[in-house]
Amino acid sequence: MDRRFSAIFIFKSLLWFIAPIGFLGWLLGYFWPVLALALVAVLAWHYFYQYKLVDWLWHRRAMLPPRAPGSWSYIYDGIYRTQRRSQQRRRALVRLLRRFREAAEAIPDAAIVFSRTGGLIWCNKLGQFYFGLKWPSDAGIRLSNLIRHPEFIAYLRQGDFTHEIHLPSPVNADVELEVRVMPYSDEQFLLIARDVTQLKQLEQMRKDFVANVSHELKTPLTVLQGYLELLEQSDALPPAMLNKAITEMQGQSERMSHLVNQLLSLSRMEISRYDLFERVVDMPQLLNVIATEMNQLNQAKQHQLSFHIDPIKIHGFEDELRSVVINLIANAIHYTPAQGVIEVSWRQVGDEAEFTVTDNGPGIAAEHLGRLTERFYRVDKDRNSKTGGTGLGLAIVQQALDHHHSRLEIESTPGQGSRFSFRISQELIIKA
């Protein structure tokens, strides 16, 4: 406040006005009437500026107060200053609020603020996206009316927010949300929801993987155990039975060691590699070695097995590419009935190099094609478990191809045959 403005100042001002007029009244012999008239004038003056003040406060938009003399100038200026100060504070608050909202928008989770009674106060864009909320039009509406999920409603009603809950997004049931609520002032609560769909899927995959491995190992172990018990109980088995038991046990232990080897190569491949461009694979040489091995494997079924190999070398991991090629050719040999036709080729197609294995085997129905590279996926589980398949071969192929920025393409017509192929992009091809 202005230092000059005080009770003494008001008193002095009044005295300076009243005293000369009173003196004049006394000279004229009308002291009291003149004094009363002067006081009425003072009152009218005050009413006038009071009216101007009210008019300015309620009806004018101008920030600046109207001009006023005497003590009213202090009142007007005082109000003006207070208004300026609160306007500055309001601006600072708006800036702070904007910054808070920008920060809340930047977090990768849905954030919803609601009151003790459950009314929506604010939500960020992800909150609108995951829960289908509309802000600001939904402001004030109870969350339990906006998100109509029984578990969520019960969670809000109980008010025990020490644990989180999981629920599907009301907008997209495939999205699983983890919701937690935190009270952050007496009257307000912050709800944070994050998309845990992938985590859930990974968790499910892990469980399925463990269940599959256990199942795959259990079958041969049960067979082995059965034969061992048989051998233990009967002292002298007829030679025919003994031979059968030994062959069967050998088969099952081979099956187990094949499965374990495949699991090991999958886990080895999971370790990411960075030095792809530092390695060179002489594909023609590798394929020639594999051709000899595959001809050996083909002895039993006597397929017509042919190789067409262009002289293309690439950057890559030799052990992984060997595994890819062997898996694809061995599958063709394995699944094609005896004396089929299998063609293997490694050739230039446009800028890229393409590897293909084509057979005239039983083919694969369209509904299986998209799932063949899943771990443990087999078209005919019963038949393949008898014939030794684990369902891991094509998963290994895809994993290895991932490291070469490639993917397995499968074309197949039931009853006619299949074509498995992958392409290596031009950056990985070594110019001759």
Peptide bond into 136 cis (omega under 30): yes
Q: Which residue number, 176 or 216, has a Cβ lying nearer to ligand ADP?
A: 216
Q: Which of 252, 356, 390, 421 binds ligand ADP (CB under 6 A)?
A: 390
Q: Which residue number, 159 or 337, has a Cβ lying nearer to ligand ADP?
A: 337
Q: Which residue number, 320 or 359, has a Cβ lying nearer to ligand ADP?
A: 359
Verify binding: residue 323, ligand ADP, rule CB under 6 A: no
Number of residues counted as binding ligand ADP (CB under 6 A): 20
Q: CB 364 → ligand ADP: shortest distance, Å?
A: 5
Tokens 């061992």 appear where? 228
Kindly report the backbone phi and psi dihedral angles of residue 212, in degrees, each rounded to the nearest multiple of 5, phi listed first: -65, -45
Q: CB 182 → ligand ADP: shortest distance, Å?
A: 47
Q: CB 393 → ligand ADP: shortest distance, Å?
A: 3
Q: What is the CA radius of gyration of the chain?
A: 44
Q: Which residue number, 52 or 403, has a Cβ lying nearer to ligand ADP?
A: 403
CA distance 82 to 57: 13
Q: Which residue number, 316 or 362, has a Cβ lying nearer to ligand ADP?
A: 362
CA distance 395 to 379: 14
CA distance 143 to 167: 15
Q: Which of 111, 394, 401, 424 binds ligand ADP (CB under 6 A)?
A: 394
Q: CB 95 → ligand ADP: shortest distance, Å?
A: 60
Verify binding: residue 341, ligand ADP, rule CB under 6 A: no
Residues 356-385 touching ligand ADP, rule: CB under 6 A, are 359, 361-362, 364, 372, 378-380, 384
Verify binding: residue 122, ligand ADP, rule CB under 6 A: no
The Cα-based distances of 26 to 17, 23, 232 in angstroms read 15, 5, 143
Sheet with 352-359: strands ordered across: 304-309, 341-349, 352-359, 417-424, 409-413
Q: Which residue number, 193 or 290, has a Cβ lying nearer to ligand ADP?
A: 290
Q: What is the DSSP string of 265-291?
A: HHHHHHS----GGG-EE-HHHHHHHHH
The secondary structure element, H or E, covering residue 178 is strand 176-183
Contacting residues toward ligand ADP, per CB under 6 A: 327, 331-332, 335, 359, 361-362, 364, 372, 378-380, 384, 389-394, 418
